[in-house]
Amino acid sequence: MNVMINADLHCHSVISDGTLTPEELAQRAKVKGVNLWALTDHDDIGGQARAAAAAAAVGLDYLTGVEVSVSFLHQTVHIVGLGFDASNVALCLGLTQTRSGRAQRARDMAEDLARVGIKDTFEGAKKYAGNPDLISRTHFARFLVATGVCKDTQEVFRKFLTEGKPGYVQHRWATLKEAVTWITQAGGMAVVAHPARYKFSANEEFALFTEFKGLGGAGVEVVTGSHSTAEAAAYADIALEFALAASRGSDFHSPQESRVDLGDLPALPENLTPVWALLQDRIQRAVPVRQP
């Protein structure tokens, strides 16, 4: 019965690199017709209690969420966790460890940008970060737009902050095994985020999904704000090939920056198992289901 559900299980608040608070996101999701929501901040679950409370207040069903940064075959891969126990100690410690290198990385990024004449970007980016533990490339991008270096964040990521460009710094994130284990041992489901965004060869991508599945990974984002129709179809095939459930999420960050708004996504293909079908007992219901 997934046709009735407008699930949006991927977005960001000021706890990571979004511009809205968890409360503003819950409100916006409700207005946009979402009825099952998850806040999935990068490497931080500090917004989960606020998001769950705000979801209940506006009448939205809620799943806990996070987007963990992982290093796999020299690329950064994002693993979304859904429906975990947010008080799980190993998960909390793992995320603290994952966040820990961000401040030094940001200083190194600023130093690299200074080499091409763009000064004071560490202090600049920090002003845009709602969470001092979580300075991301997005905050640098906002500062470079605000100071007129680039016209929008897309231009920033074309010219800076990506591999081979000024401001890019190699970073070691969590391993795939760590991320999947933290999420699943906390009772949640691990999902490969926006798979079309990675620049893997066919063999490398096969290795990613094989290892992910072997570790207990259970889902893949098929419909996301960063997939074209053709990409969604390709990852629907991958979901079937690897017997993974399918997820759906806008990856909304900001009304000013995001192309796809909360809930504004095509439905999942009917032949796939939606992740929420497997997470029924993890959903925090806005209106409690009556016991028979």
Judged by the rule CB under 6 A, the positions of this chain that interact with ligand AMP are: 17, 42, 69, 136-138, 153-154, 157, 253
CB 138 → ligand AMP: shortest distance, Å? 4
CB 118 → ligand AMP: shortest distance, Å? 17
Phi, psi of 222 (to 5 degrees): -100, -50
User: 30 vs 248, which CB is nearer to ligand AMP?
Assistant: 248
Integer Cα distance of 161 and 180 in angstroms = 27
Integer Cα distance of 175 and 70 in angstroms = 5
CB 160 within 8 A of CB 187: no
Tell me the one-letter amino acid at 240.
L
User: 8 vs 67, which CB is nearer to Mn ion?
Assistant: 67
In the complex, residue closest to Mn ion by CB: 78
The candidate with the shortest Cα–Cα distance to 144, out of 164, 169, 167, 165, is 167
From the list ligand AMP, Mn ion, none, partner contacted by residue 154 (C-beta under 5 to 8 A by kind): ligand AMP
The strand ranges marked E within 129-264 are 189-192, 219-224, 245-249
User: 157 vs 242, which CB is nearer to ligand AMP?
Assistant: 157
CB 20 → ligand AMP: shortest distance, Å? 14
From the list Mn ion, ligand AMP, none, partner contacted by residue 112 (C-beta under 5 to 8 A by kind): none
CB 195 → Mn ion: shortest distance, Å? 11
Helices first, then strands: H and E counts in the chain: 10, 8
User: 136 vs 224, which CB is nearer to ligand AMP?
Assistant: 136
Interacting residue ranges for Mn ion, rule: CB under 5 A: 17, 67, 78, 193, 251
CB 102 → Mn ion: shortest distance, Å? 13
CB 92 within 8 A of CB 43: no
Tokens describing residue 183: 């999420």
